[in-house]
Amino acid sequence: MQDAKQETTLNRSLGFWSALSLVVGTVIGSGIFFKQSSVLDSAGSTGMALLAWLLGGLITLTAGLTIAEVGAQMPHTGGLYVYMEQIYGKLWGFLSGWMQIAVYGPAIIASIAAYLGILLVGFFNLNGSWQAPLAIIVIVLIGILNMFENRWGAAFQIATTLGKLLPIGAIIIFGLFFGNQDAFGQSLHTVTQSTGSFGVAVLATLFAYDGWILVANLGGEIKNPQKLLPQAIILGISLVLIAYTLVSYGILHFIPAATIHKLGQQTTVYFANAAFGTIGGRLLNIGIIVSMVGCLNGKIMTFPRIVYAMAERNQLPFSKQLSYLNKKSHEPIIATLVILAYASIMILFFNPDRLSDLCIFTVYCFYVATFIGVFLLRKRRQGHARPFSTPGFPVTPLVAILGALFVIVSEIGSDLPGVLLSLVIVAVGIPVYYWKQRQNA
């Protein structure tokens, strides 16, 4: 459990709408706009692609319902890091936090920023060499915003979340009412040999659904978190599931499967221009850019909290500097700068698709342990009242566990070198943990 110093230092000022916008805003970013082709290619047909989007959303919803029970009992800054520590002990808590700051957090920020760079280069008709610089400039500007009081970052998150309604609504409405393709019956096998598998397709959707748990990193800054945290997670995931399924149907109903396969990451840009013309397409692309900026804002707002939570306990090298809070804004400025620097390096040297897959595998390893933790907590705390109980227990957490294992096995089968690399990075945290333990003894 977080100590009194941390809970009183960070401002507990975020309400329900801020928490909900963080869930929706950190999920709806680049994935739904850039993963349509990869999901379709792996699924092999439009019907299976839609099923992959739906199944990915249901797996995510069961995960959210399960985590909501844990989070309501541990409403502290740090999220997954705190949950793992309370359930399995300090080493596993540390490795959970280490995974998020050494792999997951910077990689997912870099991945979304890289996708945004692709979109910005096309939008402004720039040379491709501008992709990485633009991505870095955007995350630096968002990072500066989040060095002010958290209410500014939260307000920006609400505004950009509302801005997502433009591209989401436009794609759904136009695709549903003006498309003439068979959104369920087209097969890529008549055009080309599909690569991947249905499992890989679901894995791709889970990147698009990922990010919902990041609101838990601000548990110590949310008003009445025992009540509001579960509400924000469950409602947020449900809204995203509905939106993603309808967006995917709209795109598949408007664009032939063979064309989506050829367009790749440019599918949504093509949709915008074909559906609304040059001017309308550019306006829709602006909406997509706003959506991705809002997603980045939510992630840049939350990941430094994990660095701060660990450094505040002197668990990291340079903990004194990393736990520094600006005296006026009460924001972890040094932690934010470190995350941004690490993400910038990844933008320069890694492919965004590669980064996104790496993110999903590492975080789901710790997700499955936390899902199992629901059973352990119920056994340990028999007779104690719970602020929130997972509906459909034990079926719901069992589905979440099976879904997480499905992701892990699929990723091992499709990218063993990437899996081994991510495990090595996490394992490096073990000697760091024991080194800091000796220092603190």
Enter the DSSP assignment of 284.
H
Burial of 431 (0-12, 13-18, 19+ CB in 10 A): exposed
The CA-based dihedral angle spanning residues 11, 17, 23, 25, taken in that order and rounded to the nearest 10 degrees: -100
Nearest partner of 407 among 194, 103, 200, judged by Cα: 200
Domain ranges of the chain: 16-378+389-440
Task: Tell me how far apart the alpha carbons of residues 362 and 360 are, in angstroms, rounded to a whole number.
Answer: 6
To the nearest whole number, what is the mean pLDDT of the chain? 84
- CATH fold, domain 16-378+389-440, is Amino acid/polyamine transporter I (1.20.1740)
Task: Tell me how far apart the alpha carbons of residues 323 and 334 are, in angstroms, rounded to a whole number.
Answer: 8
Task: Tell me how far apart the alpha carbons of residues 371 and 373 are, in angstroms, rounded to a whole number.
Answer: 5
> What are the phi and psi torsion angles at 195 (to 5°)?
-105, 160
- How confident is the prediction along the chain (441 residues), in pLDDT tens digits per residue? 444 344 435 555 677 888 888 788 778 876 788 788 889 988 888 999 999 999 999 999 999 999 989 988 887 777 888 899 999 999 999 999 999 898 888 988 998 898 889 889 988 889 989 999 999 999 999 998 888 776 776 777 778 777 777 888 888 998 888 888 887 878 775 444 444 578 778 878 887 888 788 777 776 677 887 888 888 889 999 999 999 999 999 999 999 988 998 888 778 778 888 888 888 778 878 888 888 888 888 889 888 888 988 998 899 999 999 988 877 777 888 999 999 999 999 999 877 667 666 677 888 889 999 999 999 999 998 878 888 899 999 999 999 999 889 888 877 887 788 888 888 989 999 999 999 999 887
Residue 81 structure tokens = 């890091």
Task: Tell me how far apart the alpha carbons of residues 85 and 159 are, in angstroms, rounded to a whole number.
Answer: 34
Residue 12 structure tokens = 């507990």
Prediction pTM value: 0.82
AA letter at 313: R
Q: How much of the chain exceeds pLDDT 90, in percent?
A: 34
Task: Tell me how far apart the alpha carbons of residues 72 and 395 are, in angstroms, rounded to a whole number.
Answer: 19
Instruction: Decide: helix, strand or coil at residue 183.
Output: coil
Residue 220 pLDDT: 67
